[in-house]
Amino acid sequence: MRTLLKVLLVDDEPNVRQGIRMMIPWVEIGCEVIGEADDGDDGLSKIMTLRPDIVVADIKMPGKTGIEMTQAAKALGFNGKVIILSGYSDFSYAKDAIALGVENFILKPVDEDELTEAINAAGKKIAKERERTINQQIGKEYINEQMIKGVFFGNEEYISRFESEYERLGFLTAVIACDGDDKSDSYSAVRRFFDTVSNVDIIQIDISGVLGLLFKSWNKADIYSALDRLYESLEGRIYIACGEYVLDAKSIRKSYACAEYLYRSRFIYDKGGVVTDAEIHKPQGDPIDYPERVYAFMEINDTKKMCALLDNFMESLRFMGNTPEKAKVSVITLVIDIRARIVRTVADKKPENLVTDEFMSGLEESHSLSEMIESVKSVLTEVSDMCFAKSTKSNMERVVQYIRSNYDRELRLEMLAGIFGYNSAYLGKVFHQYTGENFNNYLDNIRITEAKRLLKDEDYKVYEVAEMVGYSNINYFHNKFKKSVGMSPLSFKKQYGSGSSEE
């Protein structure tokens, strides 16, 4: 639907205004009358408030004449077209009108065809001027877009031109990608959001419509605030990745490279909200055996700590250089390891019916790392509740039960303290009071008892038994076994075992 040109009628004679309204087929010629004024002063006021495209005005009116009104309006910035009506044939008026750029000078009584033709001619001029303005604007935008792209990608020529236009300021880049079927509408919404904001350049990065933004001379906190509001206004149908905040034009390339990396690694970093360069500069903590620690919290049914540890695992995967493929493999490997531990420990409860192959396949289809981790949290919480539901046992009973279930692993008091939420020194003291033994002696007794059973009833070699009960050092196992039993493991096996074997 075309936009109608707005017309204002200015004449001190109501009958003349009414006659012009009636005689001209306004809609047919692409116009609409938006108002009337009965003298030059009223006309000037309505020109500045209504901003008509075309003014049809009498030359002789109370107060300001049509010429004076036009002169005053143009001095105030009005650039519409003016058609003057006059009952006088004095050429001096025509000369003044031409000097002001008046489109036409028509004598009264007004001829319908002559006025229609004059309005049509004014409309064509307006259309050409608007087209020229649009083309000029498009040209400027294209040139500016090429320059911004050049600065993003480190083109020295474009950087030099950019530096000549802007002093040393603060700069920050962002990459914005929209989701859903209405991507074009979302990208238009992004442009509208910044339409009235200064010092923000928006360019299209690729054919999919992804946008690149360059903030110039903004405070970093204000940028993040504006992007947060944008995210909320689009109700999360958007991914916003911000580069580093830099102080000179040459460093804009570095900022964009960071934003572009965060965009390409969306799977890893997308967790809702604006993603900033702080995500890839987080310090990495000490290495953690995540499968063992996660499973430990499952065994004591502390799903809150389990979920917190999985969040920590997710953060450990968010570092510069990691890829979506590697992150996916890491999560799936974690779940496979935990599933194996579950099956070995509580096979009678068939936990594999929860951590199914279908679930594993579904993990691979996750749209983001955070979505993947949330799925893992959900299913492992369900397994923990099903297999290790809390009972009325005391905390020390739980510690003892955990040791008896995991004696074959590398167990340390400090690790148990972390799992059960104790200070290690305090746990050692309470454990001794509860069992009558210190932690290391208690663990050794459990291991030696199981070693005796395996040496007596099973056909394992001594070094195999040592590994099976949690001793990685064969000599250490020898010493502990001999001190506890009074003979070496091999002698014990020869004396009590079902057969003989060499170490």
The Cα angle at residue 93 between residues 92 and 98, in degrees rounded to 5: 100
Nearest to 52 by CA among 86, 23, 84, 9: 9
DSSP labels, 298-320: HHTT-HHHHHHHHHHHHHHT-ST
Taking residues 240-248, what's their average pLDDT?
A: 92
Measured between alpha carbons, how far is 241 from 225 in angstroms, rounded to an integer?
14
Considering the domain architecture, whether residues 159 and 57 belong to the same structural domain is answered as no
Considering the domain architecture, whether residues 177 and 236 belong to the same structural domain is answered as yes
Domain harbouring 26, CATH code: 3.40.50.2300
Measured between alpha carbons, how far is 46 from 38 in angstroms, rounded to an integer?
11
Considering the domain architecture, whether residues 18 and 86 belong to the same structural domain is answered as yes
Domain harbouring 238, CATH code: 3.30.70.270
Return all residues near 238 (Cβ < 8 A) that are at least 6 apart. 176, 177, 178, 179, 186, 190, 230, 231
Q: From residue 175, how far is each of 24, 44, 202, 277 by CA, in Å?
A: 52, 47, 10, 12
Query: What helix, strand, coil percent values describe the chain, rounded to 5?
Result: 60, 10, 30
Considering the domain architecture, whether residues 266 and 380 belong to the same structural domain is answered as no
Judge whether 180 lies within some domain.
yes
How many H-runs (helices) and E-runs (strands) does the chain carry?
A: 22, 10
CA 476 to chain centre: 54
Nearest to 465 by CA among 410, 421, 503: 503
Considering the domain architecture, whether residues 116 and 224 belong to the same structural domain is answered as no
Confidence of residue 136 (pLDDT cuts 50, 70, 90): low
Considering the domain architecture, whether residues 51 and 106 belong to the same structural domain is answered as yes
pLDDT of residue 503: 44
8 and 37 Cβ atoms separated by less than 8 Å: yes
pLDDT of residue 38: 92
With 50 as the cut, is the pLDDT of residue 502 above it? no
Q: Where are the beta strands (DSSP E) in 253-314?
A: 274-275
Q: From residue 343, how far is each of 97, 291, 295, 326, 337 by CA, in Å?
A: 96, 14, 12, 26, 10
Measured between alpha carbons, how far is 20 from 138 in angstroms, rounded to an integer?
38
Q: Which of 335, 355, 387 is the last residue of a domain?
A: 387
Q: Compute how many other C-beta atoms are within 10 angstroms of the C-beta atom of residue 180.
A: 10
Considering the domain architecture, whether residues 294 and 274 belong to the same structural domain is answered as no
- pLDDT tens sequence across 465-475: 999 888 888 89
Considering the domain architecture, whether residues 162 and 275 belong to the same structural domain is answered as yes
Considering the domain architecture, whether residues 276 and 317 belong to the same structural domain is answered as no
Judge whether 143 lies within some domain.
no
Residue holding tokens 């809702």?
A: 272
22 or 93, which is more confident: 22
Alpha helices for 110-216 (secondary structure H): 112-152, 156-165, 183-193
Amino acid present at 50: L
Q: Which of 281, 312, 341 is the last residue of a domain?
A: 281
282 and 267 Cβ atoms separated by less than 8 Å: no
Amino acid present at 264: R
Token pair recorded at residue 326: 């590697």
Q: Compute how many other C-beta atoms are within 10 angstroms of the C-beta atom of residue 101.
A: 11
Nearest to 169 by CA among 186, 151, 182, 187: 151
Considering the domain architecture, whether residues 403 and 463 belong to the same structural domain is answered as yes
66 and 42 Cβ atoms separated by less than 8 Å: no
Judge whether 137 lies within some domain.
no
CA 17 to chain centre: 58
pLDDT of residue 148: 85
Instruction: Please give the tally of structural domains in the chain.
Output: 4
Judge whether 144 lies within some domain.
no
- pLDDT tens sequence across 292-321: 889 888 888 888 889 999 998 998 888 767
Token pair recorded at residue 142: 């294209």
- pLDDT tens sequence across 336-391: 999 888 887 776 666 667 788 888 888 888 889 999 999 999 999 988 888 877 65
Residue 147 backbone phi and psi in degrees, to 5: -65, -45
**Percentage of the chain lying above the pLDDT 90 cut:** 36
Average pLDDT, the chain: 86
Considering the domain architecture, whether residues 257 and 325 belong to the same structural domain is answered as no
Domain membership of residue 245 as a residue range = 153-281
Judge whether 459 lies within some domain.
yes
The DSSP code for 249 is G
Token pair recorded at residue 87: 């009952």
Judge whether 503 lies within some domain.
no
Judge whether 134 lies within some domain.
no
